[in-house]
Structure 1
Amino acid sequence: MANLLGIVLFALGICLTVALHEAGHMLTARAFGMRVRRFFIGFGPTLWSFKKNETEYGVAALPLGGFCDIAGMTAQDEFITEEERPYVMYKKPWWQRIIVLSGGVAVNIILGFMILFVVAQTAGLPNPNADTRPVVDQVTCSADQLDNGELGTCTGVGAGGEAGIEQGDRLLTFNGEELESFQQLR
């Protein structure tokens, strides 16, 4: 059940990022006076929609993406009405068209940094000033095998035996060399 919930939440997260990406295109297009006909999440048959001003907002049956239909994205757009003609995209200056096309990418970059920020605030970041030298987590006794095939008994002081290693000890040196990390000990 937890796996199914994870899959559903992941799919909803993807749909949300697609919606935000397409909103980046839509908002920049509107800022430059372009007509946005439709703003949909998904493709295929419409499941639900409503119209506000000249834009139809909706959800389609196949949640595999989304789209923002801007009137006259190219001069080959066959469905431009006389009412839309002053607001078509291809008649706007080149720099406005570039900004509209880059609007979704800009939203993705901003969203990526926001996600990294939230992860850093909730899960934490590595502390470069922390002591990363290895700490003994568990001490077990390993007995030698005797000549008759049986295991001998552990001897020495504490679970660490004659070495005197105990749980929680921080290893500072090994064979006379100072340790800086567990990888160096390994």
Structure 2
Amino acid sequence: MSIALFALGVLVVGLGLALSIALHEVGHLLPAKLFGVRVTQYMIGFGPTVLSRTRGETEYGLKAIPLGGYIRMIGMFPPHKGEPEGTIREDSTGFLQQMSQMSEDAKEFESSQYGQEDAHRTFVALSVPKKLVVMLGGPTMNLLISIVLMTVMVSGIGLPAVTPTVQSVSECVLPAEAPADAGCEGEQEAPALAAGIRPGDTLQEIDGHPIDTWSDVTVAIRASGDRTVPVVVERDGETLHLEATPIVDARPVLDADGAAVYDANGDLMTEQVGFLGVSGTPDLVPQSPALVPEMAWSAFTQTGKIILTLPVRLYDVAQAAFGSEERDPNGPLGVVGVSRLAGEVASADQPGFELKEKAATLISMLASLNMALFVFNLVPLLPLDGGHVLGALIEGVRRRIARWRGRLDPGPVDMSRLLPLTNAVAIIFILMTVLLLYADIVKPITLFP
């Protein structure tokens, strides 16, 4: 394994993830500024500030722990209304009282960050639709990044497919159920070998049918029966006109994807069709971008299923990390696990897994990570974007009901009242991060055993 290539893979995915986080925050920043909200900070990372520069009224910077990012808008909570002069606060150990006090302290701090002249520029002053645009801007940016990367992968690099370039030519005709190591003694010579077709030839035409994909080869040969048919191939830049006489033989029934079909008992299903005796070459073949929406939807639903079952999956990760259970290769990964896989991909020395395949895999990883960021941030819990989206939707419903009933506007939803729950969720996220970090170190998931 090349250490340099391993480090390169880690760097590529690390920079890609950092850029994805940065663009996620841009997705919040741009509409907030467009709607006139005063944004005081745009930060990538958490913890101590490493580098920052102020432009206008916003401080832009990098922080020491690169595990996320945020923008800070004034007035995330309704303003603190103050207390009558001479009011004396009393400490209380009651849970509800502590929750109320935490809310009031948060609102008081928020209110101290801006003056009355900026009250119209707060987040809570926005209409419900504008709040939704601001809070959904970040996740939407991750969705767009994922779709763009999928398009690059599908139409620029390609998806796995079998091409009409001949990879191998059978020496003889063997039964469909014959084992892979069966010999050719006493068997009939394969029609392709007899016709002079060689590995490396590109099939261009069979029986007058133009060949663009491997499925064209399968259809043309199976329909030919045992007739002698013309075969046009390209060999070393030269076009050759050959003739082949397929035989009718029992061959596997194929489904729409070209895979062999088995019956309810697990037995291979066969049919009498033409057989030539060639196999195509697996490769990455560029496809139509029309495939991207279906891929994106599939990635969205699969990611959603993972998040819905995340508690169970994390329990399984803990079982593997602290016990003898095997780690689920399709289970959740932390930053270390993703970095390790990226390094493995870049440094892999596997037959048929060259630069193009490595690039496609790394792009696929970044597309999946952005889809995960999109779906995860839609979870309706603070401090995630979905929590603020839920608050805006509740606010809109409350205001609509108040108008229907002819009552006064109830005002914005006070999300500060959920701060205890927000802190609890944040602690859970931290514990999850630590668990995945430990599991990725002691029981890593690997691509190539």
TM over 0.5: yes
| Residue 7 of structure 2: aligned partner | 4
Deviation at 1:175, TM superposition (A): 2.8
Change (3 A) 1:93 1:136: closer
Q: Which of 102, 125, 131 is the matching residue for 1:91?
A: 125
Normalized per residue, which structure has more helix? 2
State the alpha-carbon separation in 2 of the partners of residues 184 and 26 from structure 1: 52
| Residue 113 of structure 2: aligned partner | 80
Letter in 1 for 2:249: N
Q: Which of 115, 139, 143 is the matching residue for 2:149?
A: 115
Change (3 A) 1:131 1:115: closer
Is 1:137 equivalent to 2:137 in the alignment? no
State the alpha-carbon separation in 1 of the partners of residues 260 and 64 from structure 2: 55
State the alpha-carbon separation in 1 of the partners of residues 112 and 170 from structure 2: 76
Q: Which of 31, 35, 39 is the matching residue for 1:32?
A: 35
| Residue 144 of structure 1: aligned partner | none
Letter in 1 for 2:77: T
State the alpha-carbon separation in 2 of the partners of residues 46 and 176 from structure 1: 70
| Residue 175 of structure 1: aligned partner | 249
Letter in 2 for 1:16: L
Deviation at 1:138, TM superposition (A): 5.0
Deviation at 1:120, TM superposition (A): 2.2
The percent identity for this pair of structures is 29
State the alpha-carbon separation in 2 of the partners of residues 182 and 96 from structure 1: 49
Structure 2 gap segments, 5+ residues each: 79-106, 173-182, 204-216, 223-247, 262-267, 269-449
Is 1:162 equivalent to 2:188 in the alignment? yes
State the alpha-carbon separation in 2 of the partners of residues 155 and 176 from structure 1: 19
Change (3 A) 1:125 1:182: closer
State the alpha-carbon separation in 2 of the partners of residues 17 and 136 from structure 1: 40
CA displacement 1:123-182 (0-9 Å, x = unmatched):
13578xx988xx6625479xxxxxxxxxxx9767xxxx6333535596745734586575
State the alpha-carbon separation in 2 of the partners of residues 121 and 93 from structure 1: 41
Structure 1 gap segments, 5+ residues each: 142-152
Give TM-score, length-normalised by structure 2.
Answer: 0.33
State the alpha-carbon separation in 1 of the partners of residues 184 and 151 from structure 2: 51
Change (3 A) 1:138 1:175: closer
Q: In the alignment, is the contact (CA less than 8 A) between 2:42 and 2:58 conserved in 1?
A: yes
- Number of residue pairs aligned between Structure 1 and Structure 2: 168
Deviation at 1:184, TM superposition (A): 2.6
Letter in 1 for 2:11: V
Is 1:57 equivalent to 2:90 in the alignment? no
State the alpha-carbon separation in 2 of the partners of residues 137 and 13 from structure 1: 39
State the alpha-carbon separation in 2 of the partners of residues 9 and 126 from structure 1: 23
CA displacement 1:11-58 (0-9 Å, x = unmatched):
110010000010010001011100111001111111100000000000
Compare 69-78 and 163-172 and name the one that shifted more. Answer: 163-172
Letter in 1 for 2:120: P
State the alpha-carbon separation in 2 of the partners of residues 79 and 4 from structure 1: 46
CA displacement 1:67-91 (0-9 Å, x = unmatched):
0111111222354221543311111
| Residue 184 of structure 1: aligned partner | 260
State the alpha-carbon separation in 1 of the partners of residues 156 and 138 from structure 2: 27
State the alpha-carbon separation in 2 of the partners of residues 90 and 162 from structure 1: 81
Compare 173-182 and 90-99 and name the one that shifted more. Answer: 173-182
How big is the alpha-carbon RMSD for the aligned residues of Structure 1 and Structure 2?
Answer: 3.4
State the alpha-carbon separation in 1 of the partners of residues 15 and 250 from structure 2: 55
State the alpha-carbon separation in 2 of the partners of residues 18 and 74 from structure 1: 24
